[in-house]
């Protein structure tokens, strides 16, 4: 089962990058120590993966049939795509990289389920839109409650800080439930892992990424979110968590980063200000298009070469 | 959970202590200037000046302690910034009380009888502005929704002080006092007036903090 290495690498990269979307604010504002945030993140992420991760595995399993070797290629190409896109500072989606690679495998072997693919792509489009709507609703409804409570500066600080911790924990749960399929979903099948085993291994590798490499990303992303103000950051994280959790229940892994951007845009609509500049939006759209294309092209080429040279 | 409450209680207690020290400085200042206007730089005034200095120093020490606590005890950056900005602006008032008292003690500014009642009135207006803003600060911690309503009376006191200052300064420079005395009196009047200016600034900050917490 050495092929699982590529999935573990992808899980590690996912943990290192995406933990910042849920606990970045709390860590960057020093309200939580990194290790406390990492522990909370790992616990809830693990719970999410074990309780709600199987749905996504089934989706990937029905999208395209893989073997151990093609699963290895899928994981490796997706991980490399994520690495390169991150290096180019483009907001990359692990789900899109994995799906791009899975489409290539499915097309190459003639086992692609177009109906499932349609559902996945629809969810990609729905992620930022859903998060945007959720952010608008939460901002207004929770804001009304806050105003009614008329909290003093200390009470407000206390409530918002705990709200950030709770939303972060829920976000970690949703991240585990939704994204664990990206990591080990392609390894589920006959002669490979069961969905439960895949959830366990996937969650472990994501947690490894959280513990070993997420601190720097948390500080960078967290500081960006803190600029919004703590209440808005809480709404963004909550909207992202709810959106990603809903897609976890639907069984389609989506991008937490894109959900965050959608939520931030939603806040912009409510406040009547531009919260994301054009360059950032352009980069998001570019990454949205490029990620699956790159993963698809490289995977297809590797499958072709592998078959020609007799590796596959 | 209790850790978070303990932190909040510690910061709140220190802030309350700071405001009590500032109150003492301003109360003593009011008594001290009245004493000076009545009896000049006598022994009683010097004793009061020392008490003003002690209260102001205590307020400064507490402010440093609060700053350290706010930076090390993980308040959200925006709450930290709001509180520190408020306290730094508020601190100008006890500082001014000490500066004026020090000026009277060291320069022994001569105040002609014809200006004593006007200066006493100016002191009243400015100390009243301080007390009004002090009440508004309390509201920020107890009833933040009512902070906005409490800002207007402070603005009114500041305007009243401005008018009085202008009147006194015009009279001083139209008088037969020698140039040095005129400048000393003008400086004294302006420093006293700065108290209500600072109170107005603090009131503005309080209003912004309160608005920021409205969503």
Question: Cβ–Cβ of B144/A152 closer than 8 Å?
Answer: yes
Q: Is A31 part of the contact surface with chain B (CB cutoff 8 Å)? A: yes
Chain A hits for B13, CB-CB cut-off 8 Å, are: none
User: Residues A297, A298, A303, CA angle at the centre, nearest 5°?
Assistant: 100
Residue A10 near residue A78 (C-beta atoms within 8 A): yes
Mean pLDDT of A84-89: 79
For the cut 50, the answer to whether the pLDDT of residue B1 exceeds it is no
A143 close to B (CB below 8 A): yes
User: For A120-124, which contacts have Cβ atoms below 8 Å and span 24 or more sequence positions?
Assistant: A120/A59, A120/A63, A120/A252, A123/A247, A123/A250, A123/A252, A123/A254, A124/A93, A124/A95, A124/A96, A124/A254, A124/A255, A124/A258, A124/A288
Task: Write out the residues of chain B at the interface with chain A, using a CB-CB cutoff of 8 A.
Answer: 4-5, 8, 11-12, 74-79, 82-83, 140-145, 209, 212-215
Q: How much is the pTM? A: 0.84
Residues 156-185 of A with CB under 8 A from B: 156-158, 160-162
pLDDT tens string B139-176: 888 888 888 887 899 999 999 999 999 999 999 999 99
- Residue A188 pairs in a beta bridge with A193
Per residue in B107-122, pLDDT (tens digit) is 999 999 999 999 999 9
Percent of chain B topping pLDDT 90: 75
Q: Average pLDDT for residues B183-210, to the nearest whole number?
A: 95
**Residue A143 pLDDT level (bands cut at 50, 70, 90):** very high
- In this predicted structure, what is the pLDDT of residue B42? 83
Q: Is B48 exposed, middle or buried (0-12, 13-18, 19+ CB in 10 A)?
A: buried
Task: Measure in Å the smallest separation between the Cα of B133 and chain A Cα atoms.
Answer: 17
Is A146 near chain B, with CB under 8 Å?
yes
The answer, yes or no, to whether residue B25 has pLDDT greater than 60, is yes
| Chain B residues touching residue A161 (CB < 8 angstroms) | 4, 74, 76
Range(s) of the domain holding residue A144: 4-308
A58 vs B75, which has greater pLDDT?
A58
Which CATH number does the domain housing residue B172 bear?
1.20.58.220
Q: Is the dihedral of CA B55, B61, B65, B68 positive or negative?
A: positive
| Min distance B7 CA to chain A CA atoms (Å) | 10
Judged by CB atoms closer than 8 Å, whether chains meet at B74 and A31 is answered as yes
pLDDT at B70 over 60: yes
Chain A residue nearest residue B138, CA to CA: A152
Summarize pLDDT for A19-59 with one digit per residue, the tens. Answer: 988 998 788 877 788 999 999 999 999 999 999 999 999 99
pLDDT at A226 (0 to 100): 57
**How many structural domains comprise chain A?**
1
Q: Dihedral through CA A198, CA A126, CA A271, CA A18, nearest 10?
A: 20
Helical (H) or strand (E) element with B132 = helix B113-142
> Which residue, among A26, A37, A157, would best test binding to B if mutated, counting the most B CBs under 10 Å from its CB?
A157
Do A49 and A198 touch, CB atoms closer than 8 A? Answer: no
Q: Kindly report, residue by residue over A128-138, the tens digit of the pLDDT.
A: 999 999 999 99
* Number of compact structural domains in chain B: 1
Residue B3 in this model has a pLDDT that exceeds 60: no
């Amino acid at each position: 089962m050495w092929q699982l290495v590529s999935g573990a690498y992808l899980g590690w990269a996912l943990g290192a990058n995406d933990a910042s979307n849920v606990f970045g604010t709390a860590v960057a504002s020093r309200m939580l120590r990194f290790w406390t945030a990492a522990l909370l993140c790992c616990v809830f992420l693990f719970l999410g993966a074990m309780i709600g991760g199987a749905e996504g595995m089934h989706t990937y399993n029905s999208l395209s049939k893989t073997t151990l070797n093609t699963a290895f290629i899928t994981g490796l190409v997706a991980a490399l795509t994520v690495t390169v896109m991150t290096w180019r500072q483009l907001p990359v989606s692990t789900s899109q990289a994995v799906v791009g690679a899975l489409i290539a495998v499915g097309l190459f072997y003639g086992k692609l389920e177009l109906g499932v693919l349609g559902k996945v792509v629809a969810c990609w489009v729905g992620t930022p839109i859903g998060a945007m709507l959720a952010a608008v609703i939460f901002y207004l409804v929770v804001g009304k409650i806050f105003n009614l409570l008329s909290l003093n500066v200390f009470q407000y600080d206390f409530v918002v800080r705990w709200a950030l911790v709770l939303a972060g924990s829920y976000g970690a749960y949703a991240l585990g439930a939704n994204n664990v399929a990206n990591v080990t979903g392609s390894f589920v099948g006959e002669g490979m892992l069961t969905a439960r085993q895949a959830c366990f291994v996937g969650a472990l590798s994501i947690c490894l990424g959280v513990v070993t490499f997420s601190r720097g990303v948390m500080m960078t992303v967290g500081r960006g979110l803190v600029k919004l103000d703590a209440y808005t950051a809480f709404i963004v994280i909550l909207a992202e968590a709810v959106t990603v959790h809903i897609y976890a229940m639907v069984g389609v892994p989506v991008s937490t980063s894109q959900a965050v951007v959608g939520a931030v845009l939603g806040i912009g609509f409510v406040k009547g200000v531009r919260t994301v500049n054009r360059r950032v939006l352009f980069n998001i759209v570019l990454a949205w298009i490029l990620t699956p294309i790159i993963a698809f092209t490289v995977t297809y080429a590797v499958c072709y070469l592998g078959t020609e040279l007799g590796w596959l | 959970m209790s850790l978070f409450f303990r932190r909040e209680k510690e910061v709140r207690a220190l802030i309350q202590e700071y405001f009590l020290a500032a109150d003492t400085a301003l109360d003593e200042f009011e008594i001290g200037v009245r004493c000076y206007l009545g009896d000049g730089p006598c022994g009683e005034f010097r004793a009061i000046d020392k008490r003003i200095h002690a209260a102001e120093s205590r307020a400064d020490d507490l402010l440093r302690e609060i700053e350290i606590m706010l930076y090390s005890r993980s308040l959200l950056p925006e709450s930290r910034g709001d509180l520190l900005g408020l306290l730094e602006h508020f601190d100008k008032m006890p500082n001014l009380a000490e500066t004026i008292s020090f000026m009277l003690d060291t320069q022994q500014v001569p105040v002609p009888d014809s200006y004593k009642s006007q200066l006493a009135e100016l002191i009243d207006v400015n100390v009243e502005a301080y007390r009004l803003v002090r009440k508004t600060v309390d509201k920020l911690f107890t009833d933040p929704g009512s902070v906005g309503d409490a800002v207007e009376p402070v603005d009114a006191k500041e305007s009243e002080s401005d008018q009085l200052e202008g009147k006194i300064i015009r009279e001083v420079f139209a008088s037969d006092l020698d140039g040095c005395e005129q400048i000393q009196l003008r400086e004294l009047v302006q420093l006293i007036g700065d108290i209500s200016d600072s109170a107005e600034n603090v009131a503005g900050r309080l209003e912004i903090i309160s608005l920021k917490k409205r969503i």
